[in-house]
Amino acid sequence: MMLCFCLNIHLILKLGIYSEKPDEILRIFGGMAMNKRVVITGIGVVSPVGHGKANFWNAIKEGKSGVDRITRFDTADFTCKIAAEVKDFDVTQYVDRKEAKRMDRYTHYAVAACRMALEDAKLKMEELDGEKAGVLLGSGVGGIETLEEQHSKLVSKGPGRVSPFFIPMMISNMAAGQLAIMTGAKAKNLTVVSACASGTNAIGDAFRAICSGEADVMITGGAEAPITPLSFAGFCSMKAMSTRNDDPKGASRPFDAERDGFVMGEGAGILILEELEHALNRGAEIVAEVVGYGSTNDAYHITQPAPEGEGGARAMKDAIDDAGLRPEAIDYINAHGTSTPYNDKFETAAIKSVFGEHAYTLAVSSTKSMTGHMLGAAGAAEGIASALALKDGFIPATINYENPDPECDLDYVVNEGRQKEIQYALSNSLGFGGHNATVIFKKYI
Please measure the distance between the N-terminal and C-terminal CA atoms of the chain and give it in whole angstroms: 33
- E strands in 120-228: 133-138, 189-192, 217-224
Rounded Cα–Cα distance for residues 176 and 224 (Å): 12
Catalytic residue among 51, 108, 278, 373: 373
Q: Using CA of residue 34, residue 37, residue 41, residue 42, what is the dihedral sign?
A: positive
Rounded Cα–Cα distance for residues 245 and 253 (Å): 13
List phi, psi (to 5°) of 38: -125, 130
Query: In terms of Cα–Cα distance, which of 210, 238, 416 is closest to 338?
Result: 238
Q: What type of residue is 45? A: V
Q: What is the 3-class SS of 281-340, one letter each residue?
A: HCCCCCCEEEEEEEEEECCCCCCCCCHHHHHHHHHHHHHHHHCCCCHHHCCEEECCCCCC
Query: Is 336 among the residues known to form the active site?
Result: yes
Q: What angle do CA 169, 264, 393 make, to 5 degrees?
A: 105
- The alpha carbon of 255 is separated from its chain's Cα centroid by a whole number of angstroms, namely 20
Rounded Cα–Cα distance for residues 418 and 403 (Å): 20
Q: What type of residue is 287? A: V
Q: Which residues of 273-288 are buried (b: 16+ CB within 10 A; e: fewer)?
A: bbbbebbeeeebebbb
Query: Is 373 among the residues known to form the active site?
Result: yes
SS3 assignment, position 269: strand
Q: Give me the residues paired with residue 431 across strands.
A: 435
Catalytic residue among 114, 196, 211, 408: 196
Q: Is residue 102 a contact partner of residue 167, using CB atoms and an 8 Å limit?
A: no
Catalytic residue among 278, 336, 408, 435: 336
Rounded Cα–Cα distance for residues 240 and 261 (Å): 5
Query: Is 196 among the residues known to form the active site?
Result: yes
Q: Which residues are catalytic?
A: 196, 336, 373
